[in-house]
Amino acid sequence: MTVRCRIAPSPTGPLHIGTARTALFNLLFARHEGGTFILRLEDTDVARSTAAYEADILSGLHWLGIDWDEGPAMGELAERGPFGPYRQMARLESYRAAVEGLLSRDQAYECFCSTEQLAADRASQEAAGQPPRYIGRCAHLTAEQRAQRRAEHPAPVIRFRIPAGRVGFHDLVRGDVSIDTSALGGDLVIVRSDGTPLYHFTVCVDDATMGISHVIRGEDHLSNTPKHILLFRALGAEVPAFAHLPLILNPDRTKMSKRKSQTAVADYIDQGYIREALINHLALLGWSSGTDDELFSFDDLVERFDLSRVQQGGAIFDRERLDWLNGQWIRRLSDVELVERSLPFLRASLVDAETDSSLPTADDLLPLVPLVRERLPRLDAMGPLVDFLFLDHLSIEPTLLVPKRWDAATTIDALTEARRIIAATGETVFEAEELEPPLRALAETRGWKAGDLFMAIRVALTGRTATPPLFDTMVALGYARTLERLDGARLILDPATSGT
């Protein structure tokens, strides 16, 4: 069988983590099976769909590397695939033709019930403790009655007849599912009175037309599937296989929602998560490899992915695991790649600091990469780690300068002595191996903990307590700036101190 699967996002919000996960599982399945991955925009909810959300979804998926074999145009990329257009609002003609087919076979009918009638039906069902369902008032009108109603009510909705009986299917994740159609709410509206088709209908017409073999989607759609199966049958189409993926949950097992959790993929990108880590993390939201391995590249995932190892229970979104994966994948980037990806973050943090110094270039950042690579949980950590090198004026918090076990006088003493030793090292041999031994010896002779001395120097040079290794930091700053900053720090603690 040729595998054809799809992601069918509605552009009614930014790209959601759940949509990205579903898209990824579809893509992995398609790649593993040598099949085709299709992207279709379900934009028939005109009031809530926007071009901006559409752009966010397409560019977010593309950024993640979740690219489609068939789908709509994006920026410079042209529409691809033989079943276009891949936007539902551009496919209205095909829904119209499908409705005509259903009407002509009496699998659908016009319904003239007014809003008031439907509300009254619902109220009496509620009073009787029954679930709401359409009572079928218009289901069996004679041709004459229909003509009469049409004259009074020229804009009917179209309902699809839900036949009596049970619908069963084998879900590739959840196993056998069976439901009595009496629980489906009665005959289903598939076209609104303004002529626009509704989701359940368009999704089936498109899946049928596009030859979708596997519908892999979130568990929230499980209850829709019986309706879809009935629609596929009525359309004379082959019913695809279904796989419903578990919900994504917060660590407290509540549903991951926009209000409570960070759900927009763009926010993760803005915080410096990299695509390798996000893909790895998304893959583990409901799928496991069956081994203890945790790091998976996209290619590893393609090789191993299998719907039979998708779990039924909710998948916990564990931010700590994502952070860990991100650090791991950052370590695996080449120097050049890490520079390219982190430079925008560094530049943004310097712009935030309103520095008048010139912004660093890739060449400025490249030599620092070996010093910071292991210290980057996210790309946005680059700024705080190395920004001191690019700031003309360091603003130092005086309380940070004095180590916990020390007072200001000891700190001034220590910085003065350190300055003397560093100055004596001289500009020509200003290297980490030359700087470290005499400063360690200083701590020892004065009975200071080396950690305290180094922390005072670190804050004096960088304004921060977490930096690249201290002696490398000095070398990166250079001889003159190192001495200048030590002087500056002494002045902060004791404005009476003069240079040297």
In the bound state with ligand GLU, the residue whose beta carbon lies nearer, of 215 and 333, is 215
Strand partners, 453: none
* Nearest distance, CB of residue 207 and ligand GLU, angstroms: 8
Instruction: From 211, 108, 225, select the one nearest 159 (Cα to Cα).
Output: 108
Say how far apart CA 282 and CA 248 lie, in whole Å. Answer: 10
**Hunting for tokens 């973050």 — which residue is that?**
345
Distance CA 264, CA 255 (A): 15
Q: Give the range of 8-16, 280-288, 354-362, 373-381 binding ligand GLU by CB under 6 A.
A: 8-16
Which range, of 2-10, 29-37, 167-175, 429-437, touches ligand GLU by CB under 6 A? 2-10
Residue 320 has which token pair?
């700590």
Site string for ligand GLU, 163-202 (x = CB under 6 A): ----------------------------------------
Report the candidate in 321, 312, 317, 305 with the shortest Cα–Cα distance to residue 250: 317
Q: Which of 5, 10, 16, 310 binds ligand GLU (CB under 6 A)?
A: 10
Which residue of 42, 171, 206, 452 would you call a contact of ligand GLU, by CB under 6 A? 42
Q: What is the DSSP string of 234-274?
A: HTTPPPPEEEEEPPEE-TTS-B--TTTS--BHHHHHHTT--
Would you say 330 and 322 are in contact if contact means Cβ atoms under 8 Å apart?
Answer: no
> Quick check: 203 binds ligand GLU (CB under 6 A)?
yes
Residue number, 216 or 269, with CB nearest to ligand GLU: 216
Q: Is 349 in the site for ligand GLU (CB under 6 A)?
A: no
| Selected binder of ligand GLU within 32, 146, 200, 221 (CB under 6 A) | 221
H or E stretch including 33?
none
Q: How far is the CB of 353 from ligand GLU (least distance, A)?
A: 41
The dihedrals phi and psi of 393, each to the nearest 5 degrees, come to -120, 115
Q: Which is nearer to ligand GLU, 45 or 413 (CB)?
A: 45
> In this complex, which beta carbon is closest to ligand GLU, that of residue 74 or of residue 212?
212
Q: Which of 255, 258, 260, 449 is catalytic?
A: 258
Nearest approach, Cβ of residue 110 and ligand GLU (Å): 26
Task: Tell me how far apart the alpha carbons of residues 306 and 32 are, in angstroms, rounded to a whole number.
Answer: 8
- Our finding on whether 32 is near ligand GLU (CB under 6 A) is no
Contact with ligand GLU (CB under 6 A) among 4, 21, 91, 217: 217
Instruction: Tell me, letter by letter, the H, E, C secondary structure of 67-116.
Output: CCCEECCECCECCECCCCCCEHHHCHHHHHHHHHHHHHCCCEEEECCCHH
User: In the annotation, is 449 catalytic?
Assistant: no
Which stretches of the chain bind ligand GLU, using CB under 6 A?
8-10, 42, 203, 217, 221
Catalytic residue positions, numbered: 258
